[in-house]
Amino acid sequence: MNIKDIVSDPVLFCSRLTIVDKKGRPTKLRLRSEQIQIIEALAAGDDTLVLKARQIGSTTAVAAYFFWRWFTAPDPQTYIALSHKLASSKHILDIQRRFYNSLPRALHRPLSVDNTTTMTLADTGATLMAASAEGKGGLRSFTATGLHISEFAFTPHAEELKATAIAALNGGQLCIESTANFFGDPLHREIELWDAQQVDWNFLFFPWTAHVEYTEEPPDDFEADRDLDLTEGQQYWMSKMMGKLGQTKFRREYPLSVDDAYAQTDGAWIPALMLKDIQAVKLETEGGVLARLDHNDRYGIGVDCGAGTGGDYSTCVVVSASSGQVVEIQRSNQHTPTEWASVVADRSSHWKGAKVLVESNGTWGGVIVTELKHMGIPLWKDEDGKDWITNASTKPKMLEELKDKLSTNSITMLDSWTLGELRTFKVDERGRPFCPVGGVHHGDTVIGLALALQCIKTVRVPDRPFLPEWIIQRKVNQARNKGAQKEFRRY
């Protein structure tokens, strides 16, 4: 096989590159089946999303592919390794620099730029670059042909990073690869969007069982589980790794399925089993109506407010006072507090003048309370006539009462987004629930729901059934006519 054939084929080319093994020795990149699948998916031109087990070499495979694209580019194309932290991107560029330095002399071409963040071929102007979203100006002055984001699930500002990548690509190829971090992490959100056919990823998942190195000869006294679809060697290797990492971390870092990767158990505030009987309703992210208005019922609304600048969501959760069921959810991270007050007022009017409980402390809660007062919307007050304040005393109490409703199956239906938020919540070392930073979910709907459940405690449901106005008027007219007949009755 001649050099031209090798250079023109990404798998053949990448398999001849040099890496450093675990013992620090240079060795050829012997591509595993998972790495070949990644390279072939990228070579097809697809934007590629990879959920991986640890140590399968996906970062190296993607780095090798984009190195091949750079090396064979006929013109000044740019390929970027992007991360939130520049050190992570530099590590990928270092892998590619090792590829370059180990090329055969016949393939060695001079560089016009060679520093810690950039490598540029002198003849074509093609560039490999390490960049970060936190750098001054981001990537505004660059247009990338291809872009690689590694360990996306661990990125603290994933939306910002992704937006930076898309702006720089301008139609180029994007590859995101990562292990799982927690339920609702940025990678999980991309998988959910792909599953809902809202984004066009080529999604690749590699269970740990596909990795030939994840097996070990068991001792004679090892008892394998015959019901598991695993070899004895795989079972023994798995038992040893679980002993080192614990079951939850093992399942997250060495998953058998996507659900396995995100089957959060240790540290979860709400166990997944507690939510299994709740009917999941698919709504848009902005929410929607889950039940019709019942004129014999009354309603309460819980409101959590964000700034409306694309970060935390403002939420409006409407709950039936008679059944405790959620009947409507609205959320937005684009409405200003004043605009959100108008949304809440509209929903209160729709649900028969529903009483509203607003988290009044914080930057924006007071704004909404003031606006709703001016609009004449009925507001929740405590016994002293004060608005709700979420603090170290009231927050655990309201969340614990929400958890009690969920554990007793008192809430039977929620939208998928809210269920995702509930599964995202964890508990800290003191047992206090919190929503991890960096994920797609910020916990805003959970807070709105907990506030709504507090609100309906003070909402009285009428004993008499509701009668439409036209029926009431007809009864009044009938009574009048009957009275008139009595007044003029002949004897």
Task: Decide which of 136 and 304 is more confident.
Answer: 304
* Rounded alpha-carbon distances, angstroms, from residue 248 to 83, 162, 191, 208, 437: 26, 28, 20, 15, 20
Per-residue confidence (pLDDT) for residue 472, from 0 to 100: 59
- The letter for the amino acid at 284 is E
pLDDT one-digit tens code per residue, 65-78? 999 999 999 999 99
DSSP code at position 167: H
Per-residue confidence (pLDDT) for residue 475, from 0 to 100: 62
Average pLDDT across the chain, whole number? 88
Q: Which of 135-139, 167-171, 468-472 has the lowest mean pLDDT?
A: 135-139
3-class DSSP assignment, residue 175: strand
Per-residue confidence (pLDDT) for residue 167, from 0 to 100: 86
pLDDT one-digit tens code per residue, 153-207? 888 888 888 888 888 898 899 999 998 888 888 899 899 889 878 889 999 998 8
Kindly tell me the number of DSSP H helices and DSSP E strands found in the chain.
16, 19
- % of the chain with per-residue pLDDT over 90: 54
Confidence class of residue 441 from pLDDT cuts 50, 70 and 90?
A: confident
Confidence class of residue 309 from pLDDT cuts 50, 70 and 90?
A: confident
Q: Which of 181-185, 211-215, 366-370 has the lowest mean pLDDT?
A: 181-185
Q: How far is 286 from 315, CA to CA, in rounded Å?
A: 9
- The letter for the amino acid at 302 is G
pLDDT one-digit tens code per residue, 100-132? 999 998 898 999 999 999 999 999 999 999 998
3-class DSSP assignment, residue 268: strand
Q: How far is 315 from 442, CA to CA, in rounded Å?
A: 11
Per-residue confidence (pLDDT) for residue 134, from 0 to 100: 64
Task: Count CA atoms within 13 Å of residue 133 on its CB side.
Answer: 19
Per-residue confidence (pLDDT) for residue 468, from 0 to 100: 58
Q: What is the mean pLDDT of residues 135-145?
A: 66
Q: How far is 54 from 47, CA to CA, in rounded Å?
A: 22
For 84-187, where are the E strands, in sequence order? Answer: 111-114, 118-121, 127-132, 146-150, 173-178
Q: What is the mean pLDDT of residues 78-95?
A: 92
pTM for the full predicted model: 0.70
Task: Dihedral sign for Cα 322, 324, 328, 330, please.
Answer: positive
Confidence class of residue 491 from pLDDT cuts 50, 70 and 90?
A: very low
